[in-house]
């Protein structure tokens, strides 16, 4: 990578349990992801990919080794500092959308800005701009139950990017969507990566979805087994 890493794992291990019951979910993993990359993570069940994602999202911490964010080791961070890092530097997109059900699209999107204490007018404008970026202009006041699955995931993506995060983490973002809608969502993520420069790390179990990324990291038994760089599939469809 030409540019310095945005995020790094340095000999990261994660062990759950003790003694004979101990499970080594990650085993001395080294990885580096540069700013503006689009990286996919794959692996069978129990491979460590979800544990890696949780550590990247500061939802869990390594047992040993270090997670380095923008050159700063996070091993000395307390819970409050990890919360601030999540709030100000990370965006999350989940398989299940995780939207408030009886709330409008714009209200869902502005929620992270409420936690930051942003004034009403400014956060509403930022939320509208994020919805426009994901192609939902005119749907701002639709309630969650009035939107299709694909539109709900677009709202979730808008919510993830409204804070202008350094890193967007997407966990099976097309897992609840049909094939056509999955392609639309992946085209959107590709465009946000290319045009907005958003760094994306995505977990998926589908090879055709992983093909949209610039690089594939494959985990097996807690180890990073392969790193594959490829011309992403989206180059052929955009």
Q: Which domain holds residue 168?
A: 36-57+77-227
**What confidence score (pLDDT) does residue 238 get?**
41
Q: Specify the number of domains making up the chain.
A: 1
Dump pLDDT digits (tens) for 157-180. Answer: 999 999 999 999 999 999 999 999
Q: Is residue 13 part of a domain?
A: no
Measured distance between the N- and C-terminal CA atoms of the chain, rounded to whole angstroms? 24
Of residues 99 and 20, the one with the higher pLDDT is 99
Q: Is residue 199 part of a domain?
A: yes
226, HSE (Cβ side, Cα atoms, 13 Å): 7
Q: pTM value?
A: 0.92
Q: Is residue 53 part of a domain?
A: yes
**What confidence score (pLDDT) does residue 226 get?**
85
pLDDT at 236 over 70: no
What distances in angstroms separate CA 25 from CA 44, 45, 145, 166, 190, one per listed residue? 12, 11, 37, 26, 30
**What confidence score (pLDDT) does residue 227 get?**
86
User: Is residue 15 a contact partner of residue 24, using CB atoms and an 8 Å limit?
Assistant: yes
Q: Is residue 102 part of a domain?
A: yes
Of residues 4 and 126, the one with the higher pLDDT is 126
Which CATH number does the domain housing residue 156 bear?
A: 3.40.50.300
Q: Is residue 123 part of a domain?
A: yes
pLDDT at 2 over 70: no
Q: Which of 57, 44, 104 lies closest to 83, judged by CA? A: 57
pLDDT at 53 over 60: yes
Q: Is residue 21 part of a domain?
A: no
Dump pLDDT digits (tens) for 57-109. Answer: 999 999 999 999 999 999 989 999 999 999 999 999 998 899 998 899 999 99
The rounded distance, in Å, linking the Cα atoms of 208 and 3 is 28
Of residues 238 and 146, the one with the higher pLDDT is 146
The rounded distance, in Å, linking the Cα atoms of 105 and 91 is 17
* Three-state SS letters, the chain: CCCCEEEEEEEEEEEECCHHHCEEEEEEEEEEEECCCEEEEECCCCCCHHHHHHHHCCCCCCCEEEEEECCEECCCCCHHHHHHHHHHHEEEEECCCCCCCCCEHHHHHCHHHHHCCCCHHHHHHHHHHHHHHCCCCCCCCCEHHHCCHHHHHHHHHHHHHCCCCCEEEEECCCCCCCHHHHHHHHHHHHHHHHHHCCEEEEECCCHHHHCCCCEEEEEECCEEEEEEECCCHHHHCC
The rounded distance, in Å, linking the Cα atoms of 107 and 114 is 10
**What confidence score (pLDDT) does residue 4 get?**
78
pLDDT at 234 over 70: no
Q: Is residue 158 part of a domain?
A: yes
pLDDT at 43 over 60: yes
pLDDT at 237 over 50: no
Using a 10 angstrom Cβ sphere, with 0-12 exposed, 13-18 middle and 19 or more buried, the burial of residue 124 is middle
């Amino acid at each position: 990578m030409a540019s310095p890493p945005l995020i790094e794992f340095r000999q990261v291990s994660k062990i759950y349990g003790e003694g004979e019951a101990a499970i080594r979910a990650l085993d001395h993993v080294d990885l580096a992801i540069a700013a503006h990359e689009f990286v996919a993570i794959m692996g069978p069940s129990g491979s460590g990919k979800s544990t890696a994602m949780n550590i990247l999202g500061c939802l869990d911490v390594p047992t040993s080794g270090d997670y380095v964010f923008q050159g700063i080791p996070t091993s000395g961070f307390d819970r409050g500092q990890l919360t601030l890092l999540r709030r100000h530097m990370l965006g999350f997109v989940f398989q299940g959308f995780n939207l408030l059900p009886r709330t409008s699209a714009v209200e869902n999107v502005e929620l992270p800005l409420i936690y930051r204490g942003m004034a009403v007018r400014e956060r509403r404008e930022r939320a509208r701009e994020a919805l426009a970026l994901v192609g939902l202009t005119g749907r701002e006041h639709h309630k969650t139950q009035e939107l299709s699955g694909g539109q709900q995931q677009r709202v979730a993506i808008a919510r993830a990017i409204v804070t202008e995060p350094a890193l967007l983490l997407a966990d099976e973002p097309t897992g609840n969507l049909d094939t056509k809608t999955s392609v639309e969502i992946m085209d959107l993520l590709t465009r946000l990566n290319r045009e907005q420069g958003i760094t994306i790390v995505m977990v998926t179990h589908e090879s055709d979805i992983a093909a949209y990324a610039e690089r594939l990291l494959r985990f097996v038994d807690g180890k990073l087994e392969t790193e594959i760089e490829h011309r992403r599939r989206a180059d052929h469809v955009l």
